[in-house]
């Protein structure tokens, strides 16, 4: 989340347009990437040599590399009984020590934690708050540990010694510095020189300090020393002679602090400092002091710690949270801080130095160092764009013209302060008013007026040249945006682009017609064009993208501004690009701007060099003299590099077999500038021409390269921001993957000899067996075919489901298959050899039998087929009969093969099916009507009720009792609307009206966007939500709507039924499956309820004893959606323990 922090100027800069009466704001990020703290009470912030950030909180220490959070191991935490403090020495080594009580000191040597032996420290005496400091580097390092009335000190590699102190005399040790070769120890009650293991007081000369300094900082480039103490900041030319106060009385708290929070750091030509206060900033070259008020961000009057890291990012820790900032180049103003007419600043014009006109959707304001003054306000418009001030333009007589969209054109006379407005002809809107010489260009959607300003102003709409332009273009539907006169006297007209436009640029006669929003004439005659799809250039009759610093801008460009130093500012829907010195700098909301979308008429440079930028969220003022802008490169280190499981970090050659041809890399990408995109570049270089592979905004710190071809490589890796600012390249030693054994020379030679010998042997053997083989193959083939025919007939006869019999012409059953015996409910032995008529309820003399036998004989090999009701003694059946006359039985008599197919069940089913279809159609029509009535008769008026309730609550905010009652109505309405929507979703699913629609999707980005809102829900219930998404960085077909509904139901249930603990969401891919696991530590479900949990309207708590709201449809809808996706869901739950849900969704990657 990004928020704006107010900053109050203590001493005004004469060049600034803003006075102390107005609030400014800088952009802060309160949720830095990759950092999850156990509590919001931040006590210390440090950064180690790898670039990782360390945070000491009231509940432990956390370290982060910008991607992942890491807490200290339990084995280490158990050594500390109270709060853990941090210290980073001059070598970048991190130390942990107990904040109070018996001192414990542990250092990190880069690979493991090592506890320092403090046995010389007396274990008896007064222990209070512990303080640990170090000075110098490497073998010269000296350490000081103070606890209560004892001071332990030692040099690197030497025995430890201690001094007994008088607590009331010295107080706690607040800091240690080595200044001009002398060790200075700053205690609460005095400052002492440390020499020959003894303390001697330092008597400060010159300026009388009100209290001992807690910190003395030497300027890194000058011979000046800065003294920070309670309520003052002073400066002097020697470490014992402060000569001037730079700031006083900035600690306004009357109460006594249990612990003092202070710090001082030099960066960007300024001192940043605090002492039980907000953050202060002293700009040294002007000796101007600023205070950054953090109360709106943290709701606390002071910070506890701060740090400007290696990238130049400002980190601030307080008792209520953590925030960082990458830029203070912009002072930001919104409708909340500057009494603007509206949130969106649509146009800006400088009347004179420090005096401006600001345009809004509903009027015009005068803006200077004393504040704002409303010149024109239309209360009926509010944020409607109907009266939007699109731009300002000053004519040669000093009058300032502005366009007001559908309300026409306005004119402001500076001397009198009078505003005159001119209404346009009916139905015409004006999007641009530009004065050029004696003319005024007024451009609307389908009008282009050129007014002669020497004539009476009531005729400014008399001359419309749009018909000439339409004739020039030769097409209809042209939308004009802007117009002005070029240096060569031609009139440049800008129109909106569309597919129907034949030419992006059309030049005829005195007109040049281009597409886009804005244009800028360059000194070389080229024209820069701000278009809907990027910044382009028109030169020599051709239009193409404008390339600067090997980069092009492809976002919509709304406005273009040349600055005083030869640079070009380009306003887009994603912030401002500055093109200067062959570099492209991108300013946006995440690194300083108040908003991302720049308005067309709201980008100007003042005469004092500041750039004023009007955005969709307010006004930003760029301060060219400000140096605070984080522009450092990211850090990148490797904690692991293994080839086939063999360590390759040491730089020596590593050789592995082909079966171990994989490379594992563990990164530490220390990068915290979220205003820029982190890129990881890597390659397995066989030579310098090997291309780099790039991972943008990596989600994981692990890299795995498998199936490496045999060869010799060097693994190289580096990090950058946006492919511009690079970290140093890490290059490994030689990595050698051997050829598989079957491709080595010795194996190939043996294989060739073996194959040659085998070929000769086989050739001779083949010749001997050829003749015998041909004859034997023929005999075996014939026998095989015969056996196959017999086997096939036997399988068919015994396994066919239709009854079959062989009957002689006299009606004697020669044999029957098992299906026929089953039909008669008799064994086969009781059927064979008997007359067929013994099993029929008809006489052998029935003429129908003779007719059928005659037809069979006449049909020959084709047989006959007929349907009839056959009266078996076991029961009459509707049957289809196929009979054919076989040539001859084994006894020389003709046989008839008859196959019977029972049609009784089929016909019965057909009748039932027709009846079911009729009933289903009636039910479908009733269900469709019911859904329509519910949607119209319930949901539509309910939406009106909710909207009306919200309107009344907004209009009657002073009536708190009414608001409380209406809030109950609003919550009940939204709950009922949610219930109806769930019912409709379930009905659509059951009616097969929800189809699966696949969309190619970046899974990591898609799931992060869905799960982001649940972070706030979880935090509101004091839950911790951990999300791990490990999916391939490529487009995968996925039904986004179904997947979002599934995740909303499952993650929402996990939050609803959890009161404490952790909720984890893990998403990953395995081959062609997407796997999702949602695990909580909530109330869980009983085994009895789990048997019916997927049934609609089922809830474990029912009636008046229900503990949770809901309809019981979530799991039913989720189960149906997963079935539509042909996936599966498994739920394991235990009452009082929690619930774990596993989803498996097939992916159609091919």
Residue 290 has pLDDT above 50, yes or no: yes
3-class SS letters over 770-835: HHHHHHHHHHHHHHHHHHHHHHHHHHHHHHCCCCEEEEECCCEEEEECHHHHHHHCCCHHHCCCCE
Helices (H), 426-567: 466-473
Tell me how far apart the alpha carbons of residues 729 and 720 are, in angstroms, rounded to a whole number. 10
- Mind listing the pLDDT tens digit for each residue in 1070-1123? 888 999 999 999 988 888 888 888 887 777 766 545 556 666 677 888 888 898
The owner of tokens 């007396």 is 122
Cβ neighbours around 240 below 10 Å, total: 19
For 999-1058, how does the pLDDT look when each residue is reduced to its tens digit (9 = 90+)?
888 888 899 988 888 888 888 889 999 999 988 888 889 888 888 889 888 998 888 888
Asked if pLDDT for residue 6 goes beyond 80, the answer is no
Residue 399 has pLDDT above 60, yes or no: yes
The stretch 253-262 carries a mean pLDDT of 71
What percent of the chain lies above the pLDDT cut of 70? 90
- Indicate whether this model's pTM tops 0.95: no
Q: How confident is the model at residue 190 (pLDDT cuts 50, 70, 90)?
A: very high
Q: What are phi and psi of 12, to 5 degrees?
A: -70, 140
Mean pLDDT, range 413-440, rounded to an integer: 90
Q: What is the mean pLDDT of residues 782-806?
A: 79
In sequence order, what are the residues at sequence separation of 6 or more whose Cβ sits closer than 8 angstroms to the Cβ of residue 983?
934, 1111, 1113
**Cα-based torsion angle of the residue sequence 516, 522, 524, 528 in order, rounded to the nearest 10 degrees:** -20
Identify the three-state secondary structure at position 985.
helix
Res. 8 pLDDT band, cuts 50 70 90: very low
pLDDT bin (cut points 50, 70, 90) of residue 887 is low
Residue owning tokens 């009414």: 962
Kindly report which listed range (6-10, 176-180, 512-516, 894-898) carries the lowest average pLDDT score: 6-10
pLDDT of residue 1017: 86
Residue-level pLDDT at 517: 94
Within 10 angstroms of residue 702's Cβ, the number of other Cβ atoms is: 11
**Most confident listed range (156-160, 380-384, 894-898):** 156-160
CA distance 64 to 52: 6
Tell which wins on pLDDT, 42 or 488.
Answer: 42
Rounded mean pLDDT of 434-458?
90
Arithmetic mean of pLDDT over the chain: 85
The predicted pLDDT at position 334 comes to: 86
Helical (H) or strand (E) element with 930:
helix 904-933
Interval 332-344 mean pLDDT: 86
CATH code for the domain defined by 637-742: 2.60.40.10
The pLDDT-based confidence of 1131 (bands split at 50, 70, 90) is very high
- Token pair 């993208």 is at which residue? 545
Which class is domain 995-1146?
alpha beta
Higher pLDDT pick, 27 / 713: 713
- What's the whole-number mean pLDDT along residues 713-740? 92
How do beta strands 400-403 and 392-394 pair?
A: antiparallel
Please state which of the ranges 276-280, 305-309, 831-835, 998-1002 shows the lowest mean pLDDT: 831-835
- Name the helix (H) or strand (E) containing 1009: helix 1003-1020
| Chain segment 798-820, per-residue pLDDT in tens | 887 888 888 888 888 888 888 88
Model confidence at 541: pLDDT above 90:
no
Q: Are strands 511-515 and 491-495 parallel, antiparallel or unpaired?
A: parallel
DSSP single-letter state for residue 934: I
Looking at residue 123, what is its pLDDT?
Answer: 65
Output the pLDDT for position 872. Answer: 83
797-993 topology per CATH: Beta-Lactamase (3.30.450)
Do 994 and 1039 meet the contact criterion of CB atoms below 8 Å apart? no
- Mean pLDDT value of segment 378-382: 80
pLDDT of residue 991: 61
Please identify which residue in the block is written with the tokens 């409607």: 384
In the predicted model, is pLDDT for residue 561 greater than 90?
A: yes
Percent of the chain with pLDDT over 90: 40
Cβ-based neighbours of 954, under 8 Å, separated by 6 or more: none
Cα Dmax for the chain: 145
- Domain-wise residue ranges, the chain: 637-742, 797-993, 995-1146
Residues 878 and 868: their CA atoms lie apart, in Å, by 6
The Cα angle at residue 708 between residues 703 and 710, in degrees rounded to 5 = 150
Radius of gyration of the chain (CA): 43
Residue-wise pLDDT tens digits, 150-166: 899 999 989 999 898 88
pLDDT at site 1104 = 47
From residue 976, give the alpha-carbon distance in Å to each of 326, 935, 968: 45, 13, 12
What's the pLDDT at 17?
Answer: 38
**Gap between the Cα atoms of 587 and 624, Å rounded:** 13
**pLDDT class of 22 with cuts at 50, 70, 90:** very low
Which region among 307-311, 558-562, 771-775 has the lowest average model confidence (pLDDT)? 771-775
pLDDT in tens, 915-955: 877 776 676 556 655 655 665 567 677 777 877 777 777 77
**Residue 209 pLDDT greater than 80, yes or no:** yes
> Which strands make up the sheet holding 198-201, listed edge to edge?
173-179, 182-187, 190-195, 198-201
Q: Identify the pLDDT of residue 21.
A: 32
Q: What is the pLDDT of residue 650?
A: 87
User: Which tokens belong to 1007?
Assistant: 């799931």
Residue of 876 and 660 predicted with greater confidence: 660
């Amino acid at each position: 989340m990004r928020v704006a922090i107010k900053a109050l100027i203590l001493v005004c800069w004469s060049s600034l347009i803003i006075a102390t009466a107005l609030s400014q704001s800088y952009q802060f990020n309160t949720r830095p990437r990759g950092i999850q703290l156990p509590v919001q009470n931040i006590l210390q912030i440090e950064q180690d040599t790898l670039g990782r950030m360390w945070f000491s909180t009231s509940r432990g220490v956390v370290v982060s590399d910008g991607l992942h959070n890491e807490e200290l191991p339990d084995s280490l935490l158990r050594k500390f009984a109270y709060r853990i403090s941090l210290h980073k020495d001059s070598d970048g080594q991190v130390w942990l020590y107990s904040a109070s009580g018996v001192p414990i000191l542990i250092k990190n040597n880069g690979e493991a934690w090592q506890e320092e032996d403090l046995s010389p420290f007396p274990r008896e005496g007064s222990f209070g708050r512990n303080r640990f400091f170090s000075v110098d580097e490497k073998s010269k390092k000296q350490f000081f540990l103070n606890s209560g009335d004892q001071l332990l000190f030692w040099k690197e590699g030497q025995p430890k010694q201690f001094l007994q102190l008088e607590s009331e005399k010295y107080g706690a040790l607040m800091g240690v510095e080595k200044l001009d070769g002398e060790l200075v120890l700053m205690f609460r009650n005095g400052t002492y020189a440390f020499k020959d293991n003894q303390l001697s007081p330092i008597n400060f000369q010159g300026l009388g300090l009100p209290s001992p300094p807690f910190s003395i900082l030497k300027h890194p480039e000058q011979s000046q020393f800065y003294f920070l103490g309670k309520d003052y900041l002073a400066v002097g030319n020697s470490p014992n002679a402060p000569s001037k106060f730079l700031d006083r009385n900035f600690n306004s708290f009357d109460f006594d602090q249990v612990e003092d929070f202070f710090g001082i750091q030099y960066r960007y030509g300024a001192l940043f400092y605090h002492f039980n206060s907000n953050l202060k900033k002293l700009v040294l070259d002007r000796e101007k002091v600023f205070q950054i008020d953090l109360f709106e961000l943290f709701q606390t009057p002071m910070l506890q710690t701060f740090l400007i890291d290696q990238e130049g990012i400002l980190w601030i820790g307080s008792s209520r949270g953590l925030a960082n900032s990458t830029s203070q180049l912009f002072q930001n103003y919104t409708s909340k801080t500057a009494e603007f007419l509206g949130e969106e600043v649509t146009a800006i014009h400088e009347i004179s130095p420090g005096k401006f006109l600001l345009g809004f959707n509903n009027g015009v304001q005068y803006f200077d160092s004393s504040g704002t003054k409303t010149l024109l306000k239309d209360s009926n418009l509010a944020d409607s764009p109907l009266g939007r001030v699109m731009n300002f333009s000053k004519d040669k007589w000093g009058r300032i013209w502005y366009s007001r969209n559908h309300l026409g054109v306005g004119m402001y006379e500076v001397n009198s302060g009078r505003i005159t407005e001119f209404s346009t002809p009916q139905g015409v809107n004006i999007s641009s008013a530009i004065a050029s010489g004696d003319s005024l260009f007024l451009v609307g959607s389908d009008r282009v007026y050129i007014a002669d300003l020497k004539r009476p102003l009531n005729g400014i709409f008399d001359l419309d040249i749009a018909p000439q332009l339409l004739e020039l273009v030769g097409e209809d539907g042209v939308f004009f945006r802007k117009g002005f006169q070029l240096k060569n006297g031609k009139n440049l007209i800008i129109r909106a682009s569309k597919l129907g436009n034949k030419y992006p640029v059309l030049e005829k006669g005195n007109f040049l017609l281009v597409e886009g929003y804005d244009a800028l004439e360059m000194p070389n005659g080229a024209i820069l064009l701000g278009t809907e799809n990027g910044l382009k250039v028109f030169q020599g009759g051709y239009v193409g993208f404008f390339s600067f610093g090997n980069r092009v801008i492809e976002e919509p460009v709304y406005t273009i501004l040349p600055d005083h130093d030869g640079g070009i500012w380009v306003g887009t829907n994603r912030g401002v690009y500055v093109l200067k010195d062959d570099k492209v700098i991108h300013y946006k909301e995440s690194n300083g701007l108040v908003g991302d979308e720049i308005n067309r008429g709201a980008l100007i440079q003042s005469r004092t060099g500041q750039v004023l930028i009007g955005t969709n969220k307010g006004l930003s003022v760029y301060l060219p003299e400000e140096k605070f802008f984080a522009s450092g490169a990211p850090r990148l280190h490797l904690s692991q590099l293994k080839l086939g499981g063999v360590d390759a970090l040491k730089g020596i050659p590593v050789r592995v077999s082909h079966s171990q041809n994989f490379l594992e890399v563990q990164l530490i990408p220390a990068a915290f500038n979220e205003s820029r995109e982190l890129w990881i570049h890597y390659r397995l270089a066989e030579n310098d021409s090997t291309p780099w592979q790039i991972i943008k905004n990596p989600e994981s710190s692990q890299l795995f390269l498998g199936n490496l071809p045999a060869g010799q490589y060097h693994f190289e890796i580096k990090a950058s921001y946006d492919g511009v600012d690079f970290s140093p390249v890490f290059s490994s030693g030689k990595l050698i993957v051997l050829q598989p054994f079957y491709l080595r020379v010795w194996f190939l030679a043996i294989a060739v000899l073996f194959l040659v010998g085998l070929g000769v042997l086989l050739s001779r053997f083949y010749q001997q067996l050829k003749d015998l083989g041909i004859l034997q193959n023929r005999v075996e083939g014939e026998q095989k075919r015969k056996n196959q025919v017999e086997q096939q007939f036997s399988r068919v006869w015994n396994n066919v489901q239709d009854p079959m019999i062989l009957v002689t012409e006299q009606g004697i059953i020669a044999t029957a298959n098992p299906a026929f015996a089953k039909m008669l409910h008799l064994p086969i032995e009781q059927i064979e050899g008997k007359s067929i008529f013994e099993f029929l309820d008809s006489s052998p003399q029935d003429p129908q039998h003779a007719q059928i036998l005659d037809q069979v004989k006449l049909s020959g090999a084709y047989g006959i087929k007929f349907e009839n009701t056959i009266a078996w003694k076991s029961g009459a059946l509707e049957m289809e009969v196929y009979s054919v006359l076989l040539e001859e039985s084994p006894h020389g008599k003709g046989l008839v093969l008859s196959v019977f197919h029972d049609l009784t069940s089929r016909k019965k089913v057909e009748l039932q099916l027709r009846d079911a279809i009729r009933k289903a159609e009636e039910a479908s029509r009733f269900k469709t009507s019911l859904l329509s009535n519910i949607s119209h008769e319930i949901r539509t008026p309910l939406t009106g009720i909710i909207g009306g309730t919200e309107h009344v609550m907004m209009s009657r905010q002073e009536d708190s009792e009414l608001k409380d009652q209406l809030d109950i109505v609003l919550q009940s309405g939204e709950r009922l609307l949610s219930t109806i929507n769930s019912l409709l979703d379930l009905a659509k699913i059951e009616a097969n009206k929800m189809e699966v629609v696949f969309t190619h999707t970046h899974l990591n980005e898609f799931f992060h966007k869905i799960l982001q809102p649940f972070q706030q829900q979880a935090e509101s219930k004091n839950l911790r939500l951990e999300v791990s998404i490990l999916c391939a960085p490529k487009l995968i077909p996925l039904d986004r709507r179904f997947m979002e509904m599934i995740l909303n139901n499952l993650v929402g249930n996990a939050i609803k039924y959890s009161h404490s603990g952790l909720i984890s969401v893990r998403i990953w891919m395995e081959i062609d499956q997407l796997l999702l696991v949602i695990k909580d530590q909530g109330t869980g479900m009983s085994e009895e309820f789990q048997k019916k949990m997927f049934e609609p309207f089922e809830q474990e708590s029912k009636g008046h004893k229900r503990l949770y709201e809901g309809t019981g449809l979530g799991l039913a809808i989720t189960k149906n959606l997963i079935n539509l996706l042909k996936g599966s869901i498994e739920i394991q739950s235990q009452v009082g323990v929690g619930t774990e849900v596993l989803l498996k969704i097939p992916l159609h990657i091919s």
